[in-house]
Amino acid sequence: MSSYEDVLVALRRVIRATDLHSKRLSKHAGLTGPQLLIMRTIRALGEVTIGTIAEKVSLSQATVTTILDRLEHRNLVYRVRSTQDKRKVHAHLTEEGADLLARAPNPLQEDFIQKFQSLAEWEQTMILASLQRVANMMDADDIDASPVLTVGSVLKDDGWKADAKS
């Protein structure tokens, strides 16, 4: 069995290799974490409804709507109401949005996420919790100051703020 320290070191290496540290990434693209996540989902799925996005990223439709409002305002995405079913709205990346997304992330990132999602649910959860703990430690520069995390808080308590001032 590897020691806890071994795990920490491995995690730090993963973080560096994949450039997943959200503050760094977000600042680079000028996008917040959820914004990036949603734009990636749109790129991955092509013509996609708001409901599908919400399902994929585990947010409510209302939240996706407001985030899309901001992205649309910045001309990174646009909406098209379906003619087949006028209840539905399809989201698309603008050329500008696609460019930004292409410039922003490290190519390794996509690979990593795909592989990560092939893990078991509990593995993903535990790894995320550990990553979170690592991030906290890095911020605090003090291991003992890092609070114990619950699973539920893992995805929320993330330092993804980037364009609060834009």
Partner DNA sequence: GCAAAGACCTCTAATAGTTAGGGGTGTAAA
Partner DNA sequence: TTTACACCCCTAACTATTAGAGGTCTTTGC
Q: Is position 69 an interface residue for DNA (rule: CB under 7 A)?
A: yes
Question: Binder to DNA among 12, 56, 88, 92 (CB under 7 A)?
Answer: 88
User: In whole angstroms, how close is the CB of 36 to DNA at the nearest point?
Assistant: 9
User: In whole angstroms, how close is the CB of 1 to DNA at the nearest point?
Assistant: 33
CA angle at residue 73 from 41 to 32, to 5 degrees? 50
Q: Which of 66, 7, 5 is nearest to 34 (CA)?
A: 66
User: Which of the stretches 39-47, 93-101, 110-118, 151-159 binds DNA when contact is defined by CB under 7 A?
Assistant: 151-159
CA angle at residue 111 from 70 to 79, to 5 degrees? 25
Q: Is position 132 an interface residue for DNA (rule: CB under 7 A)?
A: no
Q: Is position 141 an interface residue for DNA (rule: CB under 7 A)?
A: no
Q: Which is nearer to DNA, 23 or 92 (CB)?
A: 23
Do residues 34 and 164 make contact, with C-beta atoms less than 8 angstroms apart? no
Q: Is position 156 an interface residue for DNA (rule: CB under 7 A)?
A: yes
Question: Binder to DNA among 20, 68, 101, 134 (CB under 7 A)?
Answer: 68
Per CB under 7 A, contacts with DNA among 5-64 are 23, 32, 34-35, 49-51, 58-64
**β-strands 77-81, 48-49 pairing:** unpaired
Q: Which of 87, 41, 31 is nearest to 64 (CA)?
A: 41
User: In whole angstroms, how close is the CB of 140 to DNA at the nearest point?
Assistant: 12
Q: Which of 32, 24, 34 is nearest to 63 (CA)?
A: 34
- How many angstroms from the chain centroid is the CA of residue 6? 26
Question: Binder to DNA among 13, 16, 24, 79 (CB under 7 A)?
Answer: 79
Q: What are phi and psi of 52, to 5 degrees?
A: -65, -40
- Contacts to DNA by CB under 7 A: 23, 32, 34-35, 49-51, 58-70, 79, 84-89, 156-157, 159, 161, 163-166
